[in-house]
């Protein structure tokens, strides 16, 4: 079924970064980074979304935590005088 391939691809993509680091350090030879037996369009789509999701989450949180220029100007301390 196509949804099983998408879910397996997503899971393998999500865990690919951890598996890649462990592979580089010489461990987990029995766990492949990419499951070539499942390769297909739906699996590839899930893998790409899963592998990209940590970066998408980090980019979104960085954009939300950065204050805008308007907010910085409004929060600037003043001398207490009202300007008409």
**Domain ranges, residue 31:** 19-50
The number of folded domains in the chain is 1
pLDDT digits (tens, 9 = 90+) for 33-75: 888 888 899 999 999 999 988 777 666 666 566 565 655 555 5
Please determine, for residue 78, whether its predicted confidence score (pLDDT) is greater than 90: no
Is the pLDDT assigned to residue 84 strictly greater than 70? no
Q: Would residue 69 count as lying in a domain?
A: no
38 located within any domain? yes
Q: In this structure, is residue 39 part of a structural domain?
A: yes
Mention every residue, 6+ apart, whose C-beta is less than 8 A from residue 17.
51, 54
What is the percent of the chain where pLDDT is above 70? 65
The answer to whether the CB of 50 falls within 8 A of the CB of 16 is yes
Residue 52 is encoded by which pair of tokens? 């990209």
pLDDT of amino acid 70: 57
Domain for residue 37, yes or no?
yes
């Amino acid at each position: 079924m196509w949804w099983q391939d998408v879910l397996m691809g997503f899971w393998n993509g999500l865990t690919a970064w951890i598996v890649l680091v462990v592979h580089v350090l010489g461990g987990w030879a029995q766990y492949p980074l990419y499951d070539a037996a499942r390769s297909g369009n739906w699996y590839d789509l899930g893998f790409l979304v899963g592998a990209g999701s940590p970066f998408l989450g980090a980019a979104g949180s960085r954009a939300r935590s950065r204050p805008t220029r308007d907010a910085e100007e409004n929060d600037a301390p003043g001398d207490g005088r009202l300007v008409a």
